[in-house]
């Protein structure tokens, strides 16, 4: 389902002119998000290890596994912005995600996702949707051509009909 956005419906987040360089969690690899995920449907999620919503990792990994062959990628951005619920080091976060939830989808470095200090990628998502994350596990859905097509609160579970329908429509 399309979202009416502050920048207009289906605002472009990624284009050939946009460069959002991000380093992979606990690694040296740096990705230009718009280049690496060009042509993919992307679900962007701010995550935390010590949150009531943390079990959503299971559902996010299931989405990634079920739809990756059709072109979906889930990308996670650990954030300590809400209740200090992601206090660990990158290695601690990576180990927790892999060992506890079997997370294989790409995870990036700890990121500020709200306010004046927010990362430019998250500022663009918030401006386009009119919604900055209000808590951990807020989700943004981007189309294959880098347009914002949905913004989903933390309360929208990964397997919810609303989110699955939006993903399937974007695929």
Catalytic residues: 51
* Phi, psi of 65, rounded to the nearest 5 degrees: -70, -40
Instruction: Enter the DSSP assignment of 153.
Output: -
| CA 29 – CA 149 distance, rounded (Å) | 28
| CA 1 – CA 15 distance, rounded (Å) | 21
Half-sphere exposure in the Cβ direction for 171 (13 Å, CA): 17
| CA 124 – CA 129 distance, rounded (Å) | 9
Specify the DSSP element, H or E, that contains 52.
none
In angstroms, the Cα distances linking 19 to 16, 30, 31, 65, 155 are 8, 12, 9, 27, 30
């Amino acid at each position: 389902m399309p979202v009416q956005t502050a920048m207009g419906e289906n605002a472009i987040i990624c284009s050939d002119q946009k460069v959002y360089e991000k380093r992979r969690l606990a690694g040296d690899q740096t990705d230009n998000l718009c280049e690496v995920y060009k042509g993919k449907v992307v679900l962007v999620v701010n995550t935390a290890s010590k949150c009531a919503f943390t079990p959503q990792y299971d559902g996010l990994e299931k989405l990634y596994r079920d739809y990756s062959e059709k072109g979906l990628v889930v990308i996670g951005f650990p954030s300590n912005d809400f209740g200090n619920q992601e206090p660990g080091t990158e290695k601690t976060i990576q180990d927790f995600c892999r060992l506890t939830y079997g997370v294989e989808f790409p995870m990036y470095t700890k990121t500020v996702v709200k306010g004046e200090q927010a990362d430019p990628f998250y500022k663009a998502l918030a401006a386009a949707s009119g919604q900055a994350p209000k808590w951990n596990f807020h989700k943004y859905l981007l189309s294959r051509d880098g347009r914002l097509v949905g913004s989903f609160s933390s309360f929208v579970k990964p397997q919810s009909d609303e989110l699955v329908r939006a993903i399937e429509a974007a695929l």
